[in-house]
């Protein structure tokens, strides 16, 4: 109890910027990302692999460059990621019949199973670090963040800030 109060007090100390939305957001975001990486590491995956598997499972087979864009990755970075996934037997490269420059990237059954495992593990991890918030507060947080990102003038849609 005393510790709780001290921690909360510490977060209120000092110049305003330490409790500014920007500082809190970027700090929390970095730590959330680290938790995510740590959660899926035992499955032998990194965040990029996860992102590609998710994109393929969600939007079906797609050319390599398109998936790279969707996962906010450069096409050159993508090569090694798909190399990994293919070597691990989770994804297949199939030359497109219509345009032989392209691949159709296909997630297979093992890939879907791996993704399902990862989703479960990540959900458990989130549930852990979201502990301080009640279900209603978590929902509130998700709503605020979604608007912050996607509403006009927000982080993803303000000026030239958009990446995708």
Which residues are near its own copies by CB under 8 A?
Answer: 3-4, 7-8, 10-12, 14-15, 17, 19-22, 24-36, 54, 57-58, 119, 122-123, 125-126, 128-133, 137-138, 140-142, 144-158, 161
Least distance between DNA and beta carbon 99 (Å): 4
> Buried b vs exposed e over 98-125: b needs ≥16 C-beta within 10 Å?
eeeebbbbebeeebeebbeebeebbeeb
Residues 35-64 that bind DNA (CB under 7 A): 46, 48, 63-64
Q: Which stretch binds DNA (CB under 7 A): 10-18, 94-102, 107-115, 145-153?
A: 94-102
C-alpha pair distances (Å), 147 with each of 68, 141, 164: 25, 10, 17
Give the closest residue to 106 by CA, choosing from 92, 116, 95. Answer: 92
Determine the size of the site formed for DNA (CB under 7 A).
Answer: 21
The answer to whether residue 91 forms part of the interface with DNA (CB under 7 A) is no
**Residue from 19, 33, 38, 75 binding DNA (CB under 7 A):** 75
Please name the residue that has the structure tokens 């006009």: 152
Are 38 and 27 in contact, with CB atoms under 8 Å apart? no
Residues 97-126 that bind DNA (CB under 7 A): 99-103, 105
d(CA 96, CA 65): 13
Q: Which are the contacts of 129, defined by CB distance < 8 A and separation ≥ 6?
A: 31, 32, 35
Q: Which is nearer to its own copies, 57 or 102 (CB)?
A: 57
Q: Which is nearer to DNA, 105 or 115 (CB)?
A: 105
User: In this structure, what token pair is assigned to residue 57?
Assistant: 């499972």
Q: Which does 58 bind (CB under 5 to 8 A by kind): DNA, its own copies, none?
A: its own copies
Residues that bind DNA (CB under 7 A): 46, 48, 63-66, 73-79, 82, 93, 99-103, 105
């Amino acid at each position: 109890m005393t510790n709780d109060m001290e921690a909360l007090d510490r977060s209120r100390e000092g110049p305003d910027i330490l409790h500014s939305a920007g500082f809190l957001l970027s700090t929390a975001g970095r730590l959330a990302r680290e938790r995510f990486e740590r959660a899926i590491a035992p499955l032998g995956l990194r965040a990029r692999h996860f992102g590609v598997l998710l994109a393929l499972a969600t939007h079906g087979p797609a050319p390599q460059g398109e998936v790279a864009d969707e996962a906010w990755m450069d096409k050159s970075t993508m090569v090694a990621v798909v190399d990994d996934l293919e070597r691990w037997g989770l994804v297949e490269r199939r030359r497109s019949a219509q345009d032989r420059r392209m691949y159709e990237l296909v997630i297979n059954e093992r890939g879907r199973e791996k993704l399902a495992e990862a989703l479960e593990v990540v959900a458990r991890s989130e549930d852990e670090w979201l502990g301080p918030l009640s279900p209603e507060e978590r929902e509130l947080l998700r709503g605020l963040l979604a608007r912050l990102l996607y509403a006009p003038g927000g982080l993803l849609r303000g000026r030239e800030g958009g990446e995708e």
